[in-house]
Amino acid sequence: MKSQSILKIGVLPSPNYLEINRTTDGAFRLSGFQGKFLGAILSALGMKYEFVVPKIPKWGHRNDDGQWIGLVGMVNRCEADMAFSSIVLSEERNKAVDFSTPFTAEGMTFLIQKPGELAPALAFLYPFDSWIWLCLASFLVSLPVIFQISLGGKASYGRIFLELYASILRQPWTIQRNTRKSNFLLIFWWPLAMVVSFSYSAALLSFLTIPLQGESIQNFRDLADAVVKGTHQCYALQETDVITFLFESKQPHYVALGKAILKNNWFYSFANIRQRQHINQHSVQLIGRTSAQLLYGSSDVFVSKDTLAIWPVGIALRRGFCCKSEVNSIVLKLLSSGIPDKFLRDESFKIQLADRRKRIGIKDADVEQQLSFKDVSGAFMFLGGGYFLSFFCFFGEIIFARLRKKYS
């Protein structure tokens, strides 16, 4: 802006994040949600620029010799005027380079393979949990005794039980010569039967059309317990300082998780963030929430709602950089306009649309909405079991009557 010197910008090109291409006239064309954000900043600065890539493709940390490598190392050695990527602000990095106003806050979460759908054969049991079924069964067993007393013994226990059960199935009450006491009981029973019946029907339909998913690890405490028990593995992004955070945490389960990751060398590179090689039902991958939203917004991967920590992300600037105030002003204006969020949503939608086209076609989508025999097989099994018991009781009564007649 104030100088016509060429601005050197350190970058780590990555698909969907920051992609750099040349147009026919030799100009740079930036794409990806970070690329579009960087392009808006550079356009507002109005300076000539070129891109440089570090020899070691890292965001920036000290090596064994204490020297900075990656993007932060380039800016620290004045090989670049600024570096743009998902560079987290930390106390140690602040000693090596300057930073702009943070343009986002990155939270660390984890990904795990969804456990899959629950058995559709038992879908008729899903609408209510075990406590509701237990309470309903208790009512059906105990209430016939109270009704029998209120009716003065005019109906058997079995008859009243079937009448109450039928009322839940929206059948009329057929016992005649009711007493005032029994009518009083029915006033309270019928609303309960109606609520149970309609609630069950509505919930069952939703479970049949959208099958329930099994439960997986939900938070970092459960994850740490699973890793300590040896049932799960946890892979951390090696470009981040997550291990340092875990070891410095006052939470014992965080420390245990950090020790397990470091002991087993469970790390993966940002360059392999889309390969999903460490994501299955017994392996977890730590990831920034922005990356999770971008890459796994709608897939068979579960994104935990729990957050390990939140770190500010900014642009690394060379000490004495002439346009720091201008960069900060531009970043604040873009943030207030909501443009960076729009870039992220657009790129995420593009990825999800492409993934969905790969997974299913239009015909498959139509077939998935149809109910199959497998979805309602449990209800048919339940019906078949009822018929079997009915015939068993029927033949038992016949045999009992004949034996009684024979020996009477």
Annotated binding-site positions for L-glutamate:
93
- Residues 6+ positions from 121 with CB-CB distance below 8 Å: 374, 377, 378, 381
Q: What is the dihedral of CA 333, 339, 343, 346, to 10 degrees?
A: 180
Classify residue 112 by its DSSP letter.
E
* Rounded CA separation 96/101 (Å): 16
* Rounded CA separation 335/338 (Å): 5
- Residues 6+ positions from 328 with CB-CB distance below 8 Å: 100, 101
**Residue 289, SS3 per DSSP:** helix
Closest CA to 330 of 66, 24, 137, 42: 42
Structure tokens at 384: 């078949």
- Element spanning 137, H or E: helix 130-150
- Residues 6+ positions from 10 with CB-CB distance below 8 Å: 51, 52, 53, 54, 71, 74, 75, 79, 80, 82, 83, 84, 316
Instruction: Tell me the CA distances in angstroms from 78 to 121, 326, 328, one per residue in order.
Output: 65, 19, 20
- Element spanning 184, H or E: helix 180-209
Please state the residue numbers annotated as binding site.
93
